[in-house]
Amino acid sequence: MQPKQLWSLLLSRILPKLLGLPGILLKKFRKEGVMELDAAALPELPQDVLMDIFGTLEVPDLIRAGSVCSSWHATYKCLLDLRQYKQPQTPCLFYTCESAGSNVGFLYSLKENRSYKLTLPEPPIRSRLLIGSSNGWLITADERSELHLVNPITGEQVALPSVITIEHVKPIFDASGTIRMYELSYQTPPDLFDLGDLRDELYFKAFVFPDPSTTGSYIVVLIHEPYSRLSFARPGDDKWTWVGQGSQYKDCTYVDGLLYTVNYSGEIDAFDFTASPVKMTVIMKELKYPVCENMYIIQAPWGDLLHVWRTIDVPPNAPPWVPGKCMVETLKIQVHKVDLEAKQRVEINRLQCDSVLFLGHNDSLCLSTQVHPELKSNHAYFTDDFKELTVLLKNCMRDMGVMDLENSVKKEIVSQIWSNWPCPTWITPNLMKLNQAFNR
């Protein structure tokens, strides 16, 4: 049988059966009512052909395929081990639910309009603060304010360098030599925090970026107090490296070896992490007046840098405050193209390539609906990332939805299925393992 015929057979006869399974055969993607598939009735397909086909599937379907029979599972493993699985993924909403247990998380698939239940490693996910989501990894702070990367799909967990190695953080020991409190010393006198309270004050947002200087490696970037500055760490590091330049950062993105950042005033900076010390260049000067509460910097599929403004406020004619109900919400999202040559921001009303935005504690994304046709073009999918609400008001309803960028009309993503804390966030599923860990 020719490869073309095998493709046709798989696509017309096997995949419809496979993808139509009501249950997922991998333990992490479990659901009652799993049907049995007769593996013996499936034709033996060459592994290279199967790898080509598997490489076109998104993560849930790929995991289903890898669970059908031993030969398909071997192909699935080979695809991942060789790092040949690079299929673009549709972001999912990661959330928890109190009734499901403290170690359970969920992924709500926008593509399939359904949720997947995941059991996550200790410490319990519901005891952690979520401060970021990048390339399939959650960045979490535990009850001692220590940071961990967690891949909710694979269950892999990586401990990041200790919080006491962050600039301005010092441990306070008791008589037995156990850390009792933390000192945050960016003002006089220094502030003292209990182990679980420092995370609420210290962390704003974190990112996991592929490191182009080393194949399979990565770099973790942290926006933190004092003054929302930057620190970073690479695999093998036993401490955080403080950048010490710039301040009041809201978001960043890594493009061709440069870290682009945007701060509260709209200033856009570029950091060269290959230089020693790190070199900072101001790309766009700050705006005359702060124009919104949150800002984002995003690389678009067509290559431009986008500067996104998100206005969060109490809506006009809002009813009186009700306990548990969010008083502020996203009112407007504006998108500007960053013209690096002219040093100007140019407002655009419609995204090219029928694109869509994902905003929140995730790495800010601009995706093409030509690649992800199930998404709404020229819309922004957003979750709550306004620190004053997500941290201080943990039980308030979250500011989440889908906004039409042309007319600012909003719709809900789905009827509320999540707990309000940890705050739900977007995550792009990723099955790849990290090559190296950090030192503690």
pTM of structure: 0.88
Q: Which residues pair with 223 in a beta bridge?
A: 205, 230
* Greater pLDDT, 39 or 259: 259
Query: How far apart, in Å, do the first and last CA atoms of the chain sit?
Result: 54
Report the residue count for the chain: 440
What is the C-alpha separation between 165 and 4, in angstroms, rounded?
A: 56
Whether 260 contacts 270, CB under 8 Å: yes
Q: How far is CA 40 from CA 7, 71, 94, 131, in A?
A: 19, 11, 37, 46
Average pLDDT estimate for 148-155: 94
pLDDT by residue (tens digit) across 173-199?
Answer: 999 999 999 999 887 788 999 999 999
Q: What confidence score (pLDDT) does residue 322 get?
A: 65
Q: How confident is the model at residue 3 (pLDDT cuts 50, 70, 90)?
A: very low
Structure tokens at 40: 């013996």
What is the C-alpha separation between 113 and 283, in angstroms, rounded?
A: 40
Would you identify the CATH topology of the domain 92-427?
Answer: Neuraminidase (2.120.10)
Per-domain boundaries in the chain: 3-82, 92-427
Structure tokens at 79: 């695809």
Number of Cβ atoms within 10 Å of the Cβ of 144: 15
Whether 268 contacts 260, CB under 8 Å: yes
Q: How confident is the model at residue 107 (pLDDT cuts 50, 70, 90)?
A: very high
SS3 category, 131: strand
What is the C-alpha separation between 440 and 427, in angstroms, rounded?
A: 26
Residue found under tokens 């997947």: 116
Closest CA to 306 of 295, 294, 297: 297
Q: Taking the mean position of all CA atoms in its chain, how far away is CA 274?
A: 24
Q: What confidence score (pLDDT) does residue 140 get?
A: 97
Burial category of 359 from C-beta neighbours within 10 Å (exposed 0-12, middle 13-18, buried 19 and up): buried
Least confident of 32-46, 150-164, 202-216, 357-371: 32-46
Whether 116 contacts 60, CB under 8 Å: yes
Q: How confident is the model at residue 321 (pLDDT cuts 50, 70, 90)?
A: low
* Greater pLDDT, 364 or 26: 364
Whether 437 contacts 217, CB under 8 Å: no
Largest Cα span, the chain? 77
What is the C-alpha separation between 199 and 224, in angstroms, rounded?
A: 10
What is the C-alpha separation between 35 and 15, in angstroms, rounded?
A: 15
Average pLDDT estimate for 201-213: 90
